Chain A
Amino acid sequence: MTLPSSGALDFNSIRAEFGGPSSNVTMSTYNRGGTYTYAVPANSNIPTGTTDQIEASDFYGAKNTTDYLGNVGGAHNSGGKAPKQFYGNSNSLVGPLPSLSDQSMKVGSQSFTAITEFYMVSDGASGGGGNFDFIIQFDTSYGTSVWGNTSIWASRQFKIYNSSGTLQNTFTMSNCAGFTSAALIPAGSQILMAPNSTGKYQESLDNARNNFGGNPSAPSPLQPADGNPALGFGTGSFLNGQYYVQAF
């Protein structure tokens, strides 16, 4: 749902669409990039600066945040002799990272509403020391209903924007992510599917292509030459602060 693109539009409707307090509401509450108005392309007409002129017509056709995941991430270093650097949000797996306040997003055409983990982890005192991993815990209740022969995950791009709406990075899942059928993933290797049947995606386990890509009899989509998961660059430090994720 969006706000109307023309005709009657009042501040009460803007608040009812984006959410907000019932008193002490100022228009700057709804600047793009603020708590209630995500800095995503659909809201590009809405000013970002709190001193910019802002009016109701800026909100014609503006979209609420349903399809995007938007959170304020944190950073944590595990310390010790084999330190790991974490960036993002975690409800339970990484205690010192903040919890997710927004737990819903759309992946392709599928909506998820109970995402509990979204973080990246790498080796080294400041990250970038070697191994890298990216963990997303999607709704556990969906089970295998969104995996199978028509996977929504294969080569799925996750575009990550900052508080200004600038694209920070694009993460791409492997070209065989989510496929479960023995016809697509050789028998006995379905355990390699990512996300797994409990909804947990782990980049380092998204490797069916690595294991079976060399098999000349492997059917599509395992055939493409380069289908490994890929992050544009960096160690995930762009998840330390406000970020928005688009995957549709």
Chain B
Amino acid sequence: MDISDFTKTTRYMPDDAFYFDEETNETKTAKVVETTWSHHNEKLSDFTFCLRENHEDYQNKVNGEEQRVMEKWFAELGYNEDIYIIKDWIIKEKYKIEDEEQIQNWLKPNGAQVVESKDAETI
């Protein structure tokens, strides 16, 4: 299930914030940006995140919060996290066998990568 149908908006908060610039050794002020995530499924909550403008880790922190928002929506939808997992906004079964390596491991558990093959004469 894809839950990437949401809107992300930003706006400035009314009050500026203080921070210490280690390069100039000065206390400075900066605008604070509020990011809001609103899902098009109205049953899911809106989430907000505030960070000062030009924060050196701005994008990583917003991305990290977006990941947490995704997991909160996943929980709000009532999925059992022992059975399901969400990655890149897609909810899927946690232990579903999908890629070729997994398939081979289950079909041939003693494959060549695990036990070296021997020819019949050696046996």
Chain A interface residues (CB < 8 Å from chain B): 1-5, 7-10, 12-13, 15-17, 19-23, 35, 61, 64-66, 78-82, 91-92, 95-96, 98-104, 113
Confirm or deny: B3 has a beta carbon within 8 angstroms of a beta carbon on chain A.
Answer: no
B20 touches A2 (CB 8 A): yes
> Apart from A10-B18, A15-B50, A82-B105, what 13 extra A-B contacts exist at CB < 8 Å?
A3-B18, A4-B18, A12-B17, A15-B32, A19-B51, A19-B65, A20-B49, A22-B49, A95-B99, A99-B67, A101-B68, A103-B63, A103-B64
Confirm or deny: B4 has a beta carbon within 8 angstroms of a beta carbon on chain A.
Answer: no
Interface residues of A, dominant DSSP: loop
Bound Cα distance A82, B110 (Å) = 8
Contact A91 to B87, CB < 8 A, known contacts A13-B19, A17-B19, A20-B49? yes
Confirm or deny: B7 has a beta carbon within 8 angstroms of a beta carbon on chain A.
Answer: no
Interface residues of B, dominant DSSP: mixed
Bound Cα distance A102, B18 (Å) = 24
B52 touches A2 (CB 8 A): no
The interface size of chain B toward A, counting residues with CB under 8 Å, comes to 43
Contact A78 to B67, CB < 8 A, known contacts A13-B18, A95-B85? no
B15 touches A12 (CB 8 A): yes
- Residues of B within 8 Å of A10, CB to CB, are 17-18
A5 touches B20 (CB 8 A): yes
Bound Cα distance A1, B23 (Å) = 8
Chain B interface residues (CB < 8 Å from chain A): 13, 15, 17-22, 27, 30, 32, 34, 47-52, 55-57, 59-61, 63-65, 67-68, 85, 87-88, 94-96, 98-99, 102, 105-106, 109-110, 114
6 contacts between A and B (CB under 8 A): A2-B20, A16-B17, A16-B50, A19-B50, A95-B98, A113-B59
Closest to B29 in A: A13
B23 to chain A, nearest CB (A): 9
A48 to chain B, nearest CB (A): 20
Closest to B109 in A: A81
Contact A96 to B94, CB < 8 A, known contacts A2-B20, A4-B27? yes
B110 touches A81 (CB 8 A): yes
- Residues of B within 8 Å of A2, CB to CB, are 19-20, 22
